[in-house]
């Protein structure tokens, strides 16, 4: 397959994918952030999805990094991997996707293929992105419904959708080890796209029957996890009122072979905490009110405030004046051993404690200090000394970075310890979810 690939968006999804393709094809990585391009050209990836050796490996393979559109003009396949966040009203924010489509449209040529990997609602590729590509390029979109009698197929372009399945921070389930769903706008293009991914994805591929099916498959993957976590979060709320330890209940129930091992906690990140809103948006657009999905979202979005309220009650029970109490929050990334702070719900705990008047310090050895300052207005601690625990009235373990397993929580009788993740010894914590 003599193709040249442009990967549009070099974040947690795009960069590992571009690295994988660089072993088989000429690849250009495109990103609008000049600082990101310079960083990658220097051989470093701040997301830590690729090691410095892997970045240099991609460069040695001939991969180029650019923010100049003219340098992707000779590519034949464009793979769009930009973020798809939600706005303050929890509606899909398609701005990055639309701008990426405009960029690709400016260099699109007859016969080119545009593959979207960004998580979207069913129908988004053909209803939102394709019209932009057509308008900017002046070319026609060719699908199975295309009337070839009106114009030669050489005057049009094709599309596909292959949902990303990157798990940030996971060094075991990397891009080539996760089965890839593929689809295309015509049977021939679907086969071509599938073969393209199959050439680098060792876990294999699954060809969906249509772009819309592939879009729907992706968005329900994380909605399903969200609902399952919401169930155990609600269980945690019930167990708390009953005076029962939630994790002990789950461990007992887990002795049954088909019990699903979900755990309560904060649900953040760019996938589980966001993707369900893309599905509910589309459902409501077509006149269906998605009760279960939205109920799960409400429960999970409320857990940070619930944790903060529990910490405050524990501080009161131990005789502390809440206003002015010093509280240390360990971790602000959305998951363990990963620098990704996008949509971290730890911020809900921090803001609620601050609203009560607590003086909150935050320590996270994985998070980028400047990024946290810019995103949340928080100055991270630069380190912890040996006697750090004795200076705080409360400590909240929010993220289980491996460094936290080495900490000595030498606290006094009056210090509140709340373990959101349920990993500390039960004897040294006051409460856990």
Q: Which residues are catalytically annotated?
A: 271
In the chain, which residues fall in CATH 3.40.50.720?
Answer: 5-209, 302-433
**Confidence band, pLDDT 50/70/90 cuts, at residue 147:** low
User: Among residues 348, 360, 351, which one has the least CA distance to residue 324?
Assistant: 360
What distance in Å separates the CA atoms of residue 281 and residue 274, rounded to the nearest whole number? 11
What distance in Å separates the CA atoms of residue 279 and residue 214, rounded to the nearest whole number? 13
Tokens of 316: 């009161």
List all residues 6 or more positions away from 384 whose beta carbon is below 8 Å from its beta carbon: 363, 407
**Confidence band, pLDDT 50/70/90 cuts, at residue 152:** very low
Q: Is the pLDDT of residue 149 over 70?
A: no
Q: Which long-range contacts (CB under 8 A, 24 or more apart) does 93-101 make?
A: 94/120, 94/124, 94/128, 96/9, 97/124, 97/128, 97/129, 98/128, 98/129, 98/132, 99/32, 100/8, 100/9, 101/128, 101/129, 101/132, 101/133, 101/136
Tokens of 11: 């974040």
Q: Count CB neighbours of 295 within 10 A.
A: 13
Q: Which helix (H) or strand (E) holds 209?
A: none
| pLDDT tens sequence across 361-398 | 999 999 999 999 999 999 999 999 888 888 999 999 99
Task: Name the CATH architecture for the domain at 302-433.
Answer: 3-Layer(aba) Sandwich (3.40)
User: What CATH topology corresponds to 5-209?
Assistant: Rossmann fold (3.40.50)
In the chain, which residues fall in CATH 1.10.1040.10?
Answer: 215-301
User: Taking the CA atoms of the chain, what radius of gyration do you get in angstroms?
Assistant: 24
Q: Count CB neighbours of 147 within 10 A.
A: 7
Number of H helices, E strands in the chain: 14, 14
| pLDDT tens sequence across 353-371 | 999 999 999 999 999 999 9
Q: Which CATH number fits domain 215-301: 1.25.40.10, 1.10.1040.10, 1.20.1250.20, 3.20.20.10?
A: 1.10.1040.10
User: Among residues 160, 235, 155, which one has the least CA distance to residue 191?
Assistant: 160
| pLDDT tens sequence across 318-330 | 999 999 999 999 9
Q: Is the pLDDT of residue 150 over 60?
A: no
Q: Which helix (H) or strand (E) holds 115?
A: strand 113-116
Task: Give pTM, 2 decimals.
Answer: 0.92
Could you tell me if 367 and 329 are in contact, meaning their C-beta atoms sit under 8 angstroms apart?
A: no
Q: Is the pLDDT of residue 148 over 60?
A: no
What distance in Å separates the CA atoms of residue 342 and residue 168, rounded to the nearest whole number? 11
User: For 407-426, what is the HEC assignment?
Assistant: CCCCCCCCCEEEECCCCCCH
What distance in Å separates the CA atoms of residue 21 and residue 63, rounded to the nearest whole number? 9
Could you tell me if 416 and 405 are in contact, meaning their C-beta atoms sit under 8 angstroms apart?
A: no
| pLDDT tens sequence across 52-72 | 999 999 999 999 999 999 999
List all residues 6 or more positions away from 422 whose beta carbon is below 8 Å from its beta carbon: 246, 247, 263, 264, 265, 432, 433
């Amino acid at each position: 397959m003599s193709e040249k690939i442009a990967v549009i968006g070099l974040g947690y999804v795009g960069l590992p994918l571009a690295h994988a393709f660089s072993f088989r094809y000429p690849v250009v990585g495109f990103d609008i952030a000049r600082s990101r391009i310079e960083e990658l050209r220097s051989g470093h990836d701040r997301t830590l999805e690729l090691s410095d050796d892997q970045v240099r490996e991609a460069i040695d393979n001939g991969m180029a990094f650019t923010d100049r559109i003219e340098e992707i003009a000779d590519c034949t396949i464009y793979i769009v991997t930009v973020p798809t966040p939600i706005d303050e009203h929890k509606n899909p924010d398609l701005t990055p996707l639309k701008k990426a489509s405009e960029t690709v449209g400016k260099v699109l040529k007859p016969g080119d293929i545009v593959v979207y990997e960004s998580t979207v609602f069913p129908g988004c590729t053909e209803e939102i992105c394709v019209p932009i590509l057509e308008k900017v390029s002046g070319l026609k979109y060719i699908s199975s419904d295309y009337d070839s009698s009106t114009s030669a197929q050489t005057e049009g372009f094709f599309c596909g959708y292959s949902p990303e399945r990157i798990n940030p921070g996971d060094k075991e389930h990397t891009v080539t080890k996760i089965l890839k769903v593929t689809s295309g706008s015509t049977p021939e293009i679907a086969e071509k796209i599938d073969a393209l991914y199959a050439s680098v994805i060792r876990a294999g591929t699954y060809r969906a029957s249509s772009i819309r099916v592939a879009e729907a498959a992706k968005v329900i993957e994380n909605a399903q996890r969200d609902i399952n976590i919401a169930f155990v979060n609600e269980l945690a709320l019930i167990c708390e009122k009953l005076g029962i330890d939630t994790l002990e209940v789950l461990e007992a129930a887990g002795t049954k072979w088909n019990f699903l091992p979900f755990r309560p906690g904060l649900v953040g990140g760019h996938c589980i905490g966001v993707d369900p809103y893309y599905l509910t948006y589309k459902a409501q657009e077509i006149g269906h009110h998605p009760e279960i999905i939205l109920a799960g979202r409400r429960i999970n979005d409320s857990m940070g405030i619930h944790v903060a309220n529990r910490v405050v009650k524990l501080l009161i029970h131990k005789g502390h004046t809440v206003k002015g109490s010093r509280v240390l929050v360990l971790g602000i990334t959305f998951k363990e051993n990963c620098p990704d702070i996008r949509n971290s719900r730890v911020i809900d705990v921090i803001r609620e404690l601050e609203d009560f008047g607590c003086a909150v310090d935050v320590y996270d050895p994985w998070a980028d200090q400047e990024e946290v300052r810019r995103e949340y207005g928080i100055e991270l601690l630069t380190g912890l000394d040996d006697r750090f625990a004795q200076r705080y009235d409360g400590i909240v373990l929010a993220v289980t970075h491996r460094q936290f397993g080495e900490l000595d929580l030498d606290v006094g009788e009056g210090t509140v310890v709340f373990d959101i993740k349920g990993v500390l010894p039960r004897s040294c914590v006051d409460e856990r979810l």
